[in-house]
Each structure stands twice: as structure tokens, then as C-alpha cells.
């Protein structure tokens, strides 16, 4: 029996689950909003004068986010002895779009990352219903016990919700980044191979894109808050269709 438990692993709960889900986002936020200070500090520690190129905050954040997500994903797989479907889908998309963002030096790929993730989740849930497979029930992994019709209704709601988030993100990033100054061509400066990220300190740079920072806040805080609210709104529906534990306990005691 003990060997079976070890093979199955343990579900992430509490602090571990929170760290896996929110840790990479925290790394992204810190790198984006405090990247300039961190780069200067790293330069001081190593005896260099480093300054972050204006407008490169997103590239630094993506470069830090990708390995932190990979670490969280690896920990989840090691702890649970299985691959969480949502983490796997997110990981593949993050890996592809994050790499394209850095290699092609084009932020558009990462702006569209939430759009693609949400749209894919919506499409998968809907496709599951069309093929008489309920992927949402699979994602909950036995945490909820409801009739098939209730699962169908909840899946439709989540599918529409993810589709709405995809549309909202696509509108948001295009609107918020409208009018942002174009990124200058990367010079072969003293920064060498790090010219995409670093620049000479004290050099006049292009104005910062305020809309991009607002999109980052919306992505991390806005969509997260909306998702929590949406989930909370579903609580009465879920509770209504969950079996009454008290009744089952009374039946057991009576027998």
C-alpha cells in the first residue's frame, strides 16, 4: 500500500499550490517593475555599471518568468507524480511565445499569450462537450461530485468565461499600447550580446510606454481578480448540486 501512495504522489495544497500558481507571476511582476534597480544592483555587485534599456522591462520579465515557471512546473510534477493538464498547456504556450518574444525582440507574442491560453481553454472545454467528454470534471480531479447535467452547465459557463477573457485581453493590450513609441533598433554597443537588455548609463532613451505597465497590472491583478470572482459566483450552483453529506451520514448511522 505504501508503495502505491508513493507512486501516486500527493496533491499540492496550501502554500505549495499557491507558490506554484503565483510564484512565477510574482517573479514576472518584480522583474518588470523593479528590473532597473535589480540590474543596477547586479552590476554593482559584479563591479560593472549596468543600466536597463528603457522599454526592455518586458524582455527582462519574460526572461525571468520562463525559468521560474519551468521550476514550478517541475516541482508540481515531482510532488504529484503526474502532469497537471492546465500547467502543461500553459507551459507549452509560455515556452513558445516567450522564446519568440526574446528571439525576435517582439513583445506582441507575449501580449497575445493570455488571449491564446484563454481561447484554447474555451475551445477545449467546448470540444469536450461536443465529443461527450467533460474536461472540466477531469481538471477538478475528483474534488467535486455532481450530476452530469450540472457538470455540463458549469463547463459551458467556464467555456464562455474563458472566451470572454480572451476577447478582453486582445482588446486591452491593443488599446493600451496604442501610441507607445516604437522600439529603437538595437545598436552594437558596449553592452555587446546584452544590447537587447542593457545600455550605457546616462544615455537619453525613448519615453516609457505607460500603457504597457497598465496592461501588465491588468494581466496579473485584473484577470486574476475577475477569475476569483467568477469562481465564487459559481459556488451556490456547485453547492446546490453537491450530494448532502449529512444525509449520507444519517443513512449510514441508521443502517
Domain that holds residue 192: 11-181+188-244
Place 184 in a pLDDT band, splitting at 50, 70 and 90.
low
Residue 141 resides in a domain: yes
Average model confidence (pLDDT) across the chain: 84
Whether residue 223 is predicted with pLDDT greater than 90 in this model: the reply is yes
Whether residue 11 is predicted with pLDDT greater than 80 in this model: the reply is no
Residue 5 resides in a domain: no
Contact 153, 142 (CB under 8 A): no
Residue 111 resides in a domain: yes
Residue-wise burial string across 171-205, b where 16 or more C-beta atoms lie within 10 A, e elsewhere: ebbeebbeebeebeeeeeeebeeeebbbbeeeeeb
Residue 130 resides in a domain: yes
Residue 1 resides in a domain: no
Average pLDDT over residues 112-137: 91
Residue 146 resides in a domain: yes
- How much is the pLDDT for 114? 95
- Residue 47 sits at the vertex; the CA angle it makes with 44 and 48, to the nearest 5 degrees, is 80
Give residues with Cβ within 8 angstroms of 157, minimum separation 6: 234
Tens of pLDDT along 135-170?
888 777 667 788 889 999 999 999 999 999 999 999
Contact 84, 76 (CB under 8 A): yes
Residue 4 resides in a domain: no
Number of domains in the chain: 1
Residue 255 resides in a domain: no
Average pLDDT over residues 111-121: 95
Tens of pLDDT along 66-112?
999 999 999 989 888 888 888 888 999 999 999 999 988 899 999 99
* Best CA proximity match to 119, nearest among 170, 169, 171, 163: 163
* pTM for this model (two decimals): 0.83
Contact 54, 82 (CB under 8 A): no
Contact 154, 139 (CB under 8 A): no
Amino acid at each position: 500500500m505504501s508503495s502505491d501512495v508513493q507512486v501516486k504522489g500527493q496533491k499540492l495544497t496550501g502554500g505549495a499550490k499557491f507558490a506554484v500558481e503565483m510564484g512565477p507571476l510574482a517573479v514576472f511582476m518584480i522583474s518588470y517593475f523593479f528590473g532597473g534597480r535589480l540590474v543596477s544592483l547586479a552590476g554593482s555587485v559584479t563591479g560593472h555599471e549596468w543600466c536597463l534599456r528603457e522599454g526592455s522591462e518586458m524582455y527582462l520579465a519574460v526572461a525571468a518568468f520562463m525559468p521560474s515557471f519551468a521550476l514550478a512546473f517541475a516541482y508540481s510534477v515531482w510532488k504529484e507524480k503526474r502532469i497537471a493538464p492546465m500547467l502543461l498547456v500553459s507551459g507549452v504556450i509560455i515556452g513558445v511565445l516567450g522564446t519568440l518574444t526574446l528571439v525576435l525582440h517582439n513583445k506582441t507574442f507575449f501580449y497575445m499569450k493570455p488571449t491564446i491560453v484563454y481561447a484554447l481553454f474555451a475551445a477545449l472545454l467546448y470540444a469536450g462537450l461536443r465529443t461527450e467528454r467533460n474536461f472540466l470534471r477531469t481538471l477538478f480531479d475528483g474534488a467535486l461530485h455532481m450530476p452530469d447535467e450540472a457538470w455540463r452547465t458549469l463547463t459551458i459557463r467556464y467555456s464562455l468565461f474563458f472566451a470572454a477573457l480572451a476577447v478582453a485581453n486582445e482588446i486591452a493590450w491593443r488599446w493600451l499600447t496604442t501610441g507607445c513609441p516604437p522600439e529603437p533598433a538595437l545598436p552594437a554597443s558596449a553592452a555587446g550580446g546584452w544590447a537587447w537588455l542593457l545600455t550605457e548609463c546616462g544615455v537619453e532613451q525613448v519615453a516609457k510606454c505607460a500603457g504597457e505597465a497598465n496592461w501588465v497590472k491588468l494581466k496579473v491583478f485584473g484577470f486574476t481578480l475577475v477569475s476569483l470572482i467568477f469562481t465564487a459566483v459559481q459556488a451556490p450552483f456547485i453547492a446546490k448540486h453537491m450530494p448532502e453529506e449529512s444525509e449520507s451520514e444519517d443513512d449510514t448511522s441508521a443502517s
